[in-house]
Structure 1
Amino acid sequence: MIAVERHDGRDDMEKIINWMGGWPNDGFVSASDWEERLAAAADRSRRGPGADTTNPDVSDRLKRMLACGLLNAQTSGEPSHLRLTAGADAALLSLVKRGLQPGDVVLTEPLTSRSALQMFRKAGVRVEPVTGDSGGMDPDALAAAISLQRPKLVYVSPVCSDPHGAVWPVQRFDAVSRICRISGVTLLRDDRQAMLLYDAEKYSENDAKKHAVDGVLSIGQLPPGLVAGLRFGWVAGEPALLERWFSSPFGGDSSHNREVLTLEHQAFLELLQEQPLEPLLDMLRVQCDQRMRRLTDILSQKGVRGLRWRKPAGGVHLWLTLPDGLDGEALLRGAWIRGLMFQPGAPFYAQEPQRNTLRLTFAYADERQMKLGVSRLVEAIGDFTGRFDIG
């Protein structure tokens, strides 16, 4: 949750509530703790005899630790199945730059990641949606689209998808991955929110975290709010597939950026040796689940007719459908005046956007912020409908 003070002297109740997304200012591992670790790693590298801060051995040791632990399901325990990046968006951008050309076709779900759509379109890639339902992309529709469109890539988010936090049944993902494998098309799954699946027991290991599949790449990242100040991501897949879609382990970064990345890897490696992340992830999942339930309770209590949502299975976002006739982008302008920001829904659609939608990023809001934010949202809706349409 980010609260940005206005500069016109208004009091605390008039701070802007930012539910657009982004990264929180702090985490379970505090910003000061992480900064101290980075400083210590930098100091050791300077004082060490003949130290080379770009030495890839640091990253190799980190990959081995992750492959044997936190990312075992994604890599089948093989460090060679892993590339490290500065977050999921950095991984996706590297893939787009290396593997796609203007005019290439990417198939996606109709409702998908806003940042991914922006990257594809900026690269001149043609994005085509494949129909489906709440359980994911329709396999028959995918097979027909592959035959017709000849895509270079199929992009999906089967676990805690952005923006609506859905989870595919394992049978659906198996069918989609099989079609891609038979057709020779790479399947890229965006798993950046997969570690925030609320009810892990409801989904078996094979259902929720089945990544190590032939012909499939998985991009992921540490969830925001876990280690403050660290944007750490990865790509998992077979070595040949990683080599095809990605460049060097440092992605062609400058020597300065490589040095920064290696220092972060060194600090993160030492953190993992001292503090396993699994208990922290468990706490973060519980926190997100509790705040999602509280937010939807507050929304329900307002009783706004036509305002609908489906509770997500995980993640940090809540997807809302507004009363008929409202436009998320117009509503944002009205909500901004009242001190609330969110993501309008239209940019999350590959084609034919449903404009009466929006996304709230709730996971970093406390009780007071949730109550105040919902009140501002309902008031903004009332401004546009001319009344508070309360049941």
Structure 2
Amino acid sequence: MVGKTAGTGGSEMTTIINWMGGWPKEGLVAASEWEERLAAAASEQKSGAASPVRKESESDSELRAAIAGDLLPGSGINEGAGLLVLVSGADAAIGKLAERLLSPGDVVLTEKLTSRSVLQLLRKAGVRIVPVGGDREGMNPEALQEALSIHRPRLVYAAPSCTDPEGAAWNKERLASAIRLCRKAGVLMLRDDRQELIRYGKKDLNLRSGVREEAGVLSVGQLPPGLVGGLKFGWVAGTSEDMERWLPPQVQAELQPTSLERAALAALLREQPLSPLLDMLNVQCGRKMRRLTELLALSQVPKLTWVSPEGGIHLWLTLPPALDGEALLRGAWLKGLMFQPGTPFYATEPQRNTVRLTFAFADDRQMKAGAARLIEAMGEFLGRSM
């Protein structure tokens, strides 16, 4: 994503390259096509079906079945058992669940590195966030068991299928162990699976199969940004009993996308399954990730490191020890580049020499320019510290 700002010298305009994240306006299904589908759905509703309520119900049932079958094959989701609820986005669903589940002073267990937006939601709820030891393979079972015993949390939050910001996938055994320990302790496990549809191959890392039929687990998913231009559309999956407890029908009604969005997406999926587009998006994101890491590697900035993500739309960088991510952002902004400093992604004790780059919406020209601006900004800071 790009914008315009005044340059650092003269009257020239510098194009801002935005690697902070956010939601792109365009997608593989163009925003203009999506607008046309919304208009067609509105026209059909206005024409007056014989039974609009019944028609809407059939459309929603069709849409849930299509998402479960086309986007989440092998997930174990049984639409007939009511295990998938449509929502307007992952953050909206997680915010509502936090509102219903948490009270000030409650403890929530998370990974040390986790979603910035979810940490903000949890802190807004006044809870105490306690990180659980682990690594890119997931939470350490012994550390989780100890934390469950000592802190008696209200919730365990994790993103095992594709973490934000690192883009890592948990080991299947670690996930199974975490679910088992949470169930034994009577603690709900909230899975943030919004990035699971963006994977760079490695099919053996698929963590979907059967998990959503586990009692005591709710999974929040979302159509990835860049798929359908202008549409933010998600779902919550779990057992009927957990849904009834945490997202009863009246709450589902508050969270669901508009009837026009649901009808338009159902019509789109009838004509064009999204799985081939997802495959294309995966290839594009994987190619862009490799391109960005190639450019950074060529810079030979001393002690600049990263681990290539297994999926998602971000690259997590550990900067040379002398660099502070927030200070680097201020310097890079003057050169026309924006990104997320790393400190807001830590549950506690942030490591300041870290940043997150959201590269997935950059074309090759922006990739080259953004990498060059980042490298130049780092060079200036490192020169001052020497």
TM-score (norm 1): 0.92
Q: Which whole-Å CA distance do the structure 2 matches of 1:129 and 1:353 have between them? A: 12
Q: Against the structure 1 CA distance between its residues 216 and 302, is the aligned structure 2 distance closer, same or farther, given a 3 Å change threshold?
A: same
Question: What is the DSSP-based 3-state SS (H/G/I as helix, E as strand, rest coil) of the residue aligned with 1:163?
Answer: coil
Question: What is the DSSP-based 3-state SS (H/G/I as helix, E as strand, rest coil) of the residue aligned with 1:324?
Answer: coil
Question: What is the DSSP-based 3-state SS (H/G/I as helix, E as strand, rest coil) of the residue aligned with 1:386?
Answer: helix
Q: Against the structure 1 CA distance between its residues 78 and 208, is the aligned structure 2 distance closer, same or farther, given a 3 Å change threshold?
A: closer
2:135 match: 133
1:4 and 2:3 equivalent? yes
Q: Which whole-Å CA distance do the structure 2 matches of 1:240 and 1:216 have between them? A: 11
1:386 match: 383
1:44 match: 44
1:105 match: 107
2:24 aligned partner, one-letter code: P
Report which stretch shifted further, 211-220 or 305-314.
211-220
2:165 match: 163
| Cα shift readout 1:330-370 (whole Å, capped 9, x = no counterpart) | 11111111110000000000000001000000011111111
2:244 aligned partner, one-letter code: E
| Cα shift readout 1:25-64 (whole Å, capped 9, x = no counterpart) | 2111000000000011011111215675795443233223
Question: What is the DSSP-based 3-state SS (H/G/I as helix, E as strand, rest coil) of the residue aligned with 1:319?
Answer: strand
Asked if structure 2 preserves the Cα contact closer than 8 Å seen for 1:382 and 1:388, the reply is no
Q: Against the structure 1 CA distance between its residues 212 and 353, is the aligned structure 2 distance closer, same or farther, given a 3 Å change threshold?
A: same
2:24 match: 24
Q: Against the structure 1 CA distance between its residues 124 and 268, is the aligned structure 2 distance closer, same or farther, given a 3 Å change threshold?
A: same
Report deviation, 1:108. 0.2
Instruction: Count residues in correspondence.
Output: 381
Q: Which whole-Å CA distance do the structure 1 matches of 2:277 and 2:333 have between them? A: 34
Asked if structure 2 preserves the Cα contact closer than 8 Å seen for 1:73 and 1:210, the reply is no
What are structure 2's unaligned runs of at least 5 residues?
none
Q: Against the structure 1 CA distance between its residues 206 and 168, is the aligned structure 2 distance closer, same or farther, given a 3 Å change threshold?
A: closer
Q: Against the structure 1 CA distance between its residues 209 and 19, is the aligned structure 2 distance closer, same or farther, given a 3 Å change threshold?
A: farther
Report which stretch shifted further, 82-91 or 209-218.
209-218
Q: Against the structure 1 CA distance between its residues 7 and 148, is the aligned structure 2 distance closer, same or farther, given a 3 Å change threshold?
A: same
Q: Against the structure 1 CA distance between its residues 352 and 149, is the aligned structure 2 distance closer, same or farther, given a 3 Å change threshold?
A: same
What are structure 1's unaligned runs of at least 5 residues?
none
Superposed CA RMSD: 2.1
TM-score (norm 2): 0.93
Match of 2:301 among 291, 300, 304: 304
2:364 match: 367
Q: Against the structure 1 CA distance between its residues 362 and 208, is the aligned structure 2 distance closer, same or farther, given a 3 Å change threshold?
A: farther
Q: Against the structure 1 CA distance between its residues 206 and 295, is the aligned structure 2 distance closer, same or farther, given a 3 Å change threshold?
A: closer
Matched ranges for 1:1-391 at <5 A: 2-6=1-5, 10-11=12-13, 14-49=14-49, 52=52, 55-79=56-80, 80-203=82-205, 205=206, 210-248=211-249, 251=252, 253=254, 261-386=258-383
2:238 aligned partner, one-letter code: G
Q: Which whole-Å CA distance do the structure 2 matches of 1:148 and 1:274 have between them? A: 53
| Cα shift readout 1:237-272 (whole Å, capped 9, x = no counterpart) | 00111122224366453xxx97x6111000000000
Give the 4+ runs in structure 1 shifted more than 2 A. 6-11, 49-61, 64-79, 200-203, 205-214, 247-253
Asked if structure 2 preserves the Cα contact closer than 8 Å seen for 1:99 and 1:244, the reply is no
Asked if structure 1 preserves the Cα contact closer than 8 Å seen for 2:74 and 2:209, the reply is no
Q: Which whole-Å CA distance do the structure 1 matches of 2:229 and 2:5 have between them? A: 24
Asked if structure 2 preserves the Cα contact closer than 8 Å seen for 1:318 and 1:360, the reply is yes
Report which stretch shifted further, 44-53 or 163-172.
44-53
Q: Which whole-Å CA distance do the structure 2 matches of 1:288 and 1:208 have between them? A: 24
Report deviation, 1:96. 1.0
| Cα shift readout 1:76-132 (whole Å, capped 9, x = no counterpart) | 333400111111111111111122111111100000000010001101121110111
Q: Which whole-Å CA distance do the structure 1 matches of 2:349 and 2:122 have between them? A: 17
Q: Which whole-Å CA distance do the structure 2 matches of 1:91 and 1:200 have between them? A: 29
